[in-house]
């Protein structure tokens, strides 16, 4: 990082380390995988962000995905200020909850009812409890390389076999919790068939990111997801799509709509809150009837349905619902990605940007499609070097090679042109 000032960020980070573990409130923010300390951000507007040292960047992190309209969107701002003027929280129902639910459900063929919570992790935790309560079964099937928040039973990695109980991947997670989860490799139909055949009587649900985007961008064969749907139906197992990232990102109805595959339970987060903390889970009416106070599956939250967050979500999803929104996002993302990929190919670089919708990921394996976590080259030196070169050129991406990047409606053709040139120059510097 030779080209930017960091004095203020460095001082702030030293202070932060006296307050927070590692100086941060979420681990990836610490910049450990890219070296040096984090940049402390001060302001965002459109597709631009500014840090405490006055450095200016084109932002492709977008708060890790929620900001599909960009920073400081006028309509989101107006809605938030208006709601805040009436009160930040009541612990009682408001009309804004109804409005956001109606906006989502009126266009969603997969779920009949929804419950708002305060994060994607909380949504997953609550939906897993619902799946167990509805089916009367206890085990969960997940897939290696999919991230479902920091729920204890989801912080697991694969064991020694293809269809084995998971093992804890975090201290503080008892093996008894991990043993509630079976872990399979992605995109392996045969392993899936064996696992379900042997465990159908104990499996409450199979949870998957239909577009895995938290450990690289692991695009699955549709045939794998279709088979998963069929096997779940045949064996009375609920199919659970975790759409915290893909929901409202690849289409208004998320990956379920994009792929044309109907899950039984869906979780949302990120975009649904418009930059404020919101999550949600939903299902058909029969399943949601088991949620308290209608049914025996307890779940509650002091700030669930917070009016300010609801107002932000309404503003964002109203824009997302407009005709042509997602087509435009996809088109400009592909134009951006294709330009950089063409440059890398012409130069013979072992590099590929993989994309779906307005999501992209940087692969230093030279593969056009990676489907499993074990196919990713664990050497992240290429990413680290590119990240630092991009910072020097005024481009900010998430500080982890396993994370994806996002393009927002605020990324103009001019800014994308500038960013594409910066990417090409950065690639020339590191190869």
Do 307 and 272 share a structural domain? yes
User: In the 8-state DSSP scheme, what is residue 214?
Assistant: S
Give the model's pLDDT for residue 161.
Answer: 38
Per-residue pLDDT of the chain (431 residues; tens, 9 = 90+): 467 999 999 999 999 999 999 999 999 999 998 988 999 999 999 999 999 999 999 999 999 999 999 999 999 999 999 999 999 999 999 999 999 999 999 999 999 999 999 999 999 999 999 999 999 999 999 999 888 988 878 887 754 333 445 567 778 788 887 788 999 999 999 999 999 999 999 999 999 999 999 988 999 999 999 999 999 999 999 999 999 999 999 999 999 999 999 999 999 999 999 999 999 999 999 999 999 999 999 999 999 999 999 999 999 999 999 999 999 999 999 999 999 999 999 999 999 999 999 999 999 987 778 888 888 877 789 999 999 999 999 999 999 999 999 999 999 999 999 999 999 999 999 99
Q: How would you list the strands of the sheet with 238-243, edge to edge? A: 113-117, 279-283, 265-268, 238-243, 203-208, 139-143, 181-184, 164-165
Q: What sign for the dihedral angle of Cα 413, 427, 377, 348?
A: positive
Q: What does the CA dihedral 28, 349, 414, 40 come to, rounded to 10 degrees?
A: 20
Q: Are strands 139-143 and 203-208 parallel, antiparallel or unpaired?
A: parallel
Does 290 lie in the same domain as 215? yes
CATH of the domain at 31: 3.90.1150.10
Tell me which of 320, 345, 371 is where a domain ends. 320
Catalytic residues: 147, 242, 270
DSSP 111: -
- Tell me, yes or no, whether 363 and 298 share the same domain: no
**pTM, entire model:** 0.94
Report the alpha-carbon distance of residue 100 to residue 311 in Å, rounded.
Answer: 8
Q: Which tokens belong to 5?
A: 């000032």
Q: Are residues 81 and 60 in the same domain?
A: no
Is 379 part of any domain?
yes
Domain check: are 237 and 249 in the same one?
yes
Q: Which domain holds residue 347?
A: 7-72+324-430
Among 320, 352, 378, residue at a domain's last position? 320
Check whether residue 79 and residue 118 sit in a common domain. yes
CATH number of the domain within which 218 lies: 3.40.640.10
In angstroms, rounded to a whole number, what is the distance separating the alpha carbons of residues 422 and 427?
9
Tell me if 1 is assigned to some domain: no
Same domain as 293, residue 164: yes
């Amino acid at each position: 990082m030779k080209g930017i000032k960091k004095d203020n960020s460095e001082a702030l980070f030293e202070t932060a380390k006296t307050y927070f573990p590692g100086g941060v409130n979420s681990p990836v923010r610490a910049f450990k995988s890219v070296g040096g300390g984090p940049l402390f951000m001060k302001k965002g507007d459109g597709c631009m962000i500014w840090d405490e040292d006055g450095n200016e960047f084109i932002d492709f992190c977008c708060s890790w995905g929620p900001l599909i309209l960009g920073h400081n969107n006028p309509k989101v701002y107006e809605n938030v200020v208006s709601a805040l003027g009436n009160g930040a929280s009541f612990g009682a129902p408001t009309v804004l909850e109804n409005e956001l639910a109606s906006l989502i459900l009126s266009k969603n063929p997969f779920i009949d009812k929804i419950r708002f919570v305060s994060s994607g992790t909380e949504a997953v935790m609550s939906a897993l409890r619902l799946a167990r309560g509805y089916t009367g079964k206890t085990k969960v099937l997940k897939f290696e390389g999919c991230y479902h928040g920091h729920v204890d039973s989801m912080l697991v990695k694969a064991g020694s076999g293809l269809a084995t109980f998971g093992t804890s991947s975090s201290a503080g997670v008892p093996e008894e919790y991990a043993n509630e989860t079976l872990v399979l490799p992605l995109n392996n139909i045969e392993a899936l068939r064996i696992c379900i055949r042997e465990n159908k009587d104990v499996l409450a649900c199979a949870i998957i990111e239909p577009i895995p985007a938290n450990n690289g961008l692991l695009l699955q064969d549709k045939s794998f997801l279709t088979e998963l749907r069929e096997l779940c139906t045949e064996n009375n197992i609920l199919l659970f799509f975790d759409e915290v990232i893909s929901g409202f990102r690849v289409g208004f109805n998320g990956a379920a709509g994009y792929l044309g595959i109907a899950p039984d339970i869906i979780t949302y987060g990120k975009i649904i809150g418009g930059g404020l903390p919101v999550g949600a889970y939903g299902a058909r009416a029969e399943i949601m009837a088991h949620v308290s106070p209608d049914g025996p599956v307890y779940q509650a939250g002091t700030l669930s349905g917070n009016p300010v967050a609801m107002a932000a979500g309404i503003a964002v999803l109203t824009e997302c619902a407009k005709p042509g929104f997602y087509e435009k996002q996809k088109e400009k993302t592909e134009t951006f990605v294709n330009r950089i990929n063409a440059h890398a190919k012409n130069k013979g670089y072992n590099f590929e940007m993989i994309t779906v919708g307005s999501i992209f990921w940087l692969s230093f394996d030279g593969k056009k499609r990676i489907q499993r976590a074990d196919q990713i080259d664990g050497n992240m030196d290429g990413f680290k070097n590119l990240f630092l070169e991009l910072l020097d050129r005024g481009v900010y991406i998430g500080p982890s090679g396993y994370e994806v990047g996002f393009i927002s409606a605020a990324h103009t053709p001019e800014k994308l042109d500038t960013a594409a040139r910066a990417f090409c120059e950065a690639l020339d510097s590191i190869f």
